[in-house]
């Protein structure tokens, strides 16, 4: 796996990327291998790594059972520029809670690592066999403002977000 990730990273570097985003990881061994591979190619570009979390009782875990504190500790120890979360089957309110947990876990370890988030446009609903995200751009932007206020510095969007969601978010954060 490390060799495959390194080949991909080399090709991207040759293509002129500005940085690497390793995302939607669920297992610590896989995210570790991906980060190590990207860093091994010698590029001086930023490396961001995120994992996908779902609600697990009163906590959040990846589908492989990794909790926020364990994920953050491992990823931060690999000297990334930013650590975060994306995807998952959580509501916007739960993304806000997850952001608070992430920021707290990162701040306990390092003042230099940035926290980033790429939430879905809400929790997917299955409609006629298709995953549908019904959160409006305005509601998404309002939630993202709270995620930003929790201390998340870099924000994007994952499943269900559209240019309208990103535009509304930019307007909300600039106001």
CA distance 10 to 13: 5
Q: What is the pLDDT of residue 35?
A: 98
How far apart are alpha carbons 7 and 168 in whole angstroms?
A: 37
User: Residue 23's pLDDT is what?
Assistant: 97
Consecutive 10-residue averages of pLDDT for the chain (175 residues): 96 96 98 97 92 97 98 97 95 96 96 95 92 95 98 96 97 94
Show the domain range for 58.
Answer: 2-174
Q: How many domains are there within the chain?
A: 1
Whole-angstrom distance, CA of residue 158 vs CA of residue 118 = 5
CA 10 to chain centre: 22
pLDDT at 3: 97
> Residue 111's pLDDT is what?
87
C-alpha angle 161-51-139 in degrees, rounded to nearest 5: 30
8 A C-beta contact, residue 22 and residue 31:
yes
We report the CATH number of the domain holding residue 150 as: 3.20.20.330
């Amino acid at each position: 796996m490390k060799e495959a990730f390194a080949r991909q990273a080399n090709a991207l570097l040759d293509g002129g990327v500005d940085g690497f985003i390793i995302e939607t990881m669920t297992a610590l061994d896989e995210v570790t291998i991906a980060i190590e591979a990207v860093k091994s190619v010698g590029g001086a570009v930023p490396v961001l790594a995120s994992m996908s979390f779902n609600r697990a009782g009163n906590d959040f875990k990846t589908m492989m059972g990794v909790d926020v504190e364990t994920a953050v500790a491992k990823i931060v120890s690999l000297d990334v520029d930013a650590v975060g979360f994306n995807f998952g089957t959580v509501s916007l309110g739960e993304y806000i809670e997850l952001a608070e947990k992430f920021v707290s876990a990162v701040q306990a370890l390092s003042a230099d690592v940035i926290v980033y988030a790429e939430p879905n446009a809400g929790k997917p609903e299955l409609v006629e066999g298709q995953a549908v995200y019904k959160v409006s751009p305005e509601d998404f932007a309002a939630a993202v403002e709270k995620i930003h206020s929790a201390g998340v510095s870099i924000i994007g969007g994952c499943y269900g977000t559209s240019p309208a969601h990103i535009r509304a978010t930019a307007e909300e954060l600039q106001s």
